[in-house]
Amino acid sequence: MRGVVMHAPGDFRVEEREDPKILHPTDAIIRLSATCVCGSDLWPYRGAEPIEGPSPIGHEYVGVVEEVGSEVRNIKPGQFVVGAFSTSDNTCENCRAGYQTSCVQREWMNAMGAQAERLRVPLADGTLVATPGTPDEDLIPSLLTASDVLGTGWFAATAAQAGPGKTVAVVGDGAVGLLGVLAAGQLGAERIIAMSRHEPRQRLAREFGATDIVTERGDAGVARIKDLTGGYGAHSVIEAVGTQESMLQAIRATRPGGHVGYVGVSHDVTLDGQELFFSHVHLHGGPAPARQYLPHLIDLIWNRKINPGKVFDLTLPLEQAAEAYRAMDERRAIKVLLKP
Amino acid sequence: MRGVVMHAPGDFRVEEREDPKILHPTDAIIRLSATCVCGSDLWPYRGAEPIEGPSPIGHEYVGVVEEVGSEVRNIKPGQFVVGAFSTSDNTCENCRAGYQTSCVQREWMNAMGAQAERLRVPLADGTLVATPGTPDEDLIPSLLTASDVLGTGWFAATAAQAGPGKTVAVVGDGAVGLLGVLAAGQLGAERIIAMSRHEPRQRLAREFGATDIVTERGDAGVARIKDLTGGYGAHSVIEAVGTQESMLQAIRATRPGGHVGYVGVSHDVTLDGQELFFSHVHLHGGPAPARQYLPHLIDLIWNRKINPGKVFDLTLPLEQAAEAYRAMDERRAIKVLLKP
């Protein structure tokens, strides 16, 4: 089958890869209807994360189940499924507490390489959720977002305790930040401030529910958020970048007692204990337990209550994955959907 | 009047200080019935915080109101009062959210120097709480703890979301950690693991509600907590020290989705963003809003439901404050009460 293989920073190719097979009785094999490039895939693409030999990549996926192992009970061949970006047994204490990305049996789907025609999904019963039927073609991009980027925005908004009466600020205007805006709106936030300097992203942020746009960054951005909130700072801040600057911007824009929900994969971030101590913020985040939210998010999408698929502003055949990476790296596209 | 003055690390003296006067119409002057030495006072005593010229110290206090400014409405001369270790107007948004230690008008009481015979308390209406009457002598140590150390333990337990069904671990066996144990018990925690290597402190921890004692520290302490919790870690961890080692011990002993409540004043702590990200813990803490808890804690003490005053294992006349500092520095005493 065809699939993306990382060779070196900037050198991601579509090649022949071995067809996946059932390796464990809890596995499923799915034929992908759509996959995509994640902002976090850009870290190795840009050389900010090591690449160990040619290796597959991709962790966002929807598709049709082709085959299941002998111990798979709930997932059946022929079903259309959405899967989380990490595997989970959905039975351990961490899963039952809603932290499936800390499942004691967790594997990252990147290792299986979802940017491909077919995919092996371990722990299929705990990782995949079937849709109520075969989706209309136009729902597929939105369902695909539930695999990671929407679930990540949702977790960020939840961790930031976005809700009624709250002013929410969102640091980062990538797909996760934009879907954090959407999530904050769905959770009932009163005011949603998107921090973005890019006109098309500002437009999408407004469409997703942003009430204010702040173009300043860093200390100036923090000052602007304070201005907009009577000097106190936002109640809830979503951090969707993962750099030192974005984390400090998020923490400093949050009022005492407020909540920072951070989901940008941390790169070279160090936090000063004393600043954190006197900030009085709540800090929570990490890899989003997308699996937790799948049933609810599939329901919202299936019933056309939300349209998160709008974050895909470019769709390419899988064969053109290299161009997809380039477009996202150069910020020509917010997020690129790949059709196997 | 007599009061403690810091001259240099290790050189804290009782001297004549000017009697406090009403400086602002919202001030009150109180005659102290008791004051004490805080673990955080040991930082400058040990040279870990700068001392700028001879300066007063002390921020824990109970006493009788002698005089109030013209704008003080609720606090009256003759009342017995407990005050928080920072001033608060109790009307700004931060105060109303329960974060009086981030009041927009906050001043640290250390600057007023509570280790003395008399004390000026700014923003008296928002900072002080009167007891239902003149307390019995034996209640005074417990009421004094509500000024800081008990409120700090209470905040830590609350920030760590100690409660029914939860396993709580407590890092630090100073007075704050011990009262964190007491608070966790009052909040209904199922299991409370005190981390301590000192027999008298272990005994007090058990008396306050600890169900388990762990003597190991650092990575070994973390491993022991994991052992005791089926490999997952504690649901709630109270950090009551403020060093790099204690913070990492707290974070690593917490299960994914669990809560760290940290109240040890951070000294040279830096947290790695990536470790925090993948830990999945909730992190919350800072200077405890003792004022928020005063009415509830006074009520518990007044009705003899709790006896937090047991943390004072040494009582000295104010004149012997230098010995009080030495005893705490050398860990000969858990906490020393000073009688002016």
Measured CA to CA in angstroms, residue A180 lies from A150, A175, A247, A264, A284 at distances of 8, 8, 16, 12, 15
Residues 6+ apart with CB under 8 A from A281: A251, A254, A256, A257, A258, A259, A260, B284
User: Domain A153-285 is of which CATH architecture?
Assistant: 3-Layer(aba) Sandwich (3.40)
Q: Does A280 touch chain B (CB under 8 A)?
A: yes
Give the pLDDT confidence of B309-339 residue by residue, as tens digits.
Answer: 999 999 999 999 999 999 999 999 999 999 9
A50 to chain B, any CB pair closer than 8 A? The answer is no
CA distance B178 to chain A (A): 20
Q: Which of A145-154, B8-17, B28-37, B43-52 has the lowest mean pLDDT?
A: B43-52
Least confident of A24-33, A39-48, B154-163: A39-48
DSSP-derived 3-state class of residue B19 = coil
pLDDT in tens, A75-110: 999 999 999 999 999 999 999 999 999 999 999 999
Query: Quick one: average pLDDT of A278-303?
Result: 98
Residue in B98, B279, B285 nearest the CB of A277: B285
CB atoms within 10 A of CB B110: 21
The overall average pLDDT reported for chain A is: 97
Q: Quick one: A157 exposed, middle or buried, by C-beta within 10 A (0-12, 13-18, 19+)?
A: buried
**Which phi and psi angles does B135 have, rounded to 5°?**
-75, 150
Reported as a single tens digit per residue, the pLDDT across B216-273 is 999 999 999 999 999 999 999 999 999 999 999 999 999 999 999 999 988 889 999 9
DSSP-based three-state secondary structure for A12: strand
Which residues does chain A have within 8 Å of residue B281's beta carbon, measured at their own beta carbons? 284
Q: Do B257 and A101 touch (CB under 8 A)?
A: no
* Residue B97 pLDDT exceeds 90: yes
SS3 B139: helix
- Residue A233: per-residue pLDDT: 98
- What pLDDT, on the 0 to 100 scale, is given for residue A53? 86
Q: Is A288 on the interface with B (CB under 8 A)?
A: no
Which residues have CB under 8 Å from B299's CB, separation 6+?
none
Q: Is A271 in contact with B268 (Cβ distance < 8 A)?
A: no
Q: Tell me if A286 and B280 make a contact (CB, 8 A cut-off).
A: yes
Element of type H or E holding B250: helix B244-252
- Name the DSSP letter for residue B240: -
Per-residue model confidence (pLDDT) at position B53: 86
Rounded to the nearest 10 degrees, the angle between the axes of helix B175-186 and helix B199-208 is 20
Is there a contact between B249 and B172 (Cβ–Cβ < 8 Å)?
no
pLDDT value of residue A180: 98
Question: Which residue ranges make up each domain of chain B?
Answer: 2-148+289-339, 153-285
Would you call A188 exposed, middle or buried from its count of C-beta atoms within 10 A (0-12, 13-18, 19+)? exposed
User: Averaged over A16-33, what is the pLDDT?
Assistant: 98
CB A153 within 8 A of CB A39: no
Mean pLDDT of the B74-100 span: 98
- Here the ipTM equals 0.96
Tens digits of per-residue pLDDT, B2-32? 999 999 999 999 999 999 999 999 999 999 9
Strand-pair category, A80-83 with B55-56: unpaired
Which residues of chain B lie closer than 8 angstroms to A99, CB-CB? Answer: 256-257, 280
Residue B213 binned pLDDT confidence (cut-offs 50, 70, 90): very high
> In the predicted model, is pLDDT for residue A267 greater than 90?
no
Residues 6+ apart with CB under 8 A from B294: B82, B84, B129, B146, B151
Distance from the Cα of A280 to chain B's closest Cα (Å) equals 5
What pLDDT does B143 receive? 98
Is residue B100 pLDDT above 90, yes or no?
yes
- CB proximity A266 to B under 8 Å: yes
Predicted local distance difference test score (pLDDT) of residue B265: 86
Dump pLDDT digits (tens) for A2-13.
Answer: 999 999 999 999
Percent of chain A scoring above 70 in pLDDT = 100
| Per-residue confidence (pLDDT) for residue B266, from 0 to 100 | 85
Split at pLDDT 50, 70, 90, the class of B105 is: very high
How many angstroms separate the CA atoms of A277 and B242, rounded? Answer: 10
Q: Determine the residue of chain A that is closest to B282 in CA distance.
A: A284
**Distance between CA A211 and CA A23 in Å, rounded?**
49
In CATH, what is the architecture of B2-148+289-339?
Alpha-Beta Complex (3.90)
Q: Nearest CA to B261 among B173, B145, B154, B187?
A: B154
A-B contacts at Cβ under 8 angstroms: 114
For the segment B142-167, the average pLDDT, to the nearest whole number, is 98
Cβ-defined contact of B282 to A282 (cutoff 8 Å) = yes
Q: Could you tell me the pLDDT band of residue A168, with boundaries at 50, 70 and 90?
A: very high
Helices B244-252 and B218-228: angle between axes, nearest 10 degrees: 20
* Phi/psi at A330 (5° precision): -85, 5
Query: What is the per-residue pLDDT for A266?
Result: 85
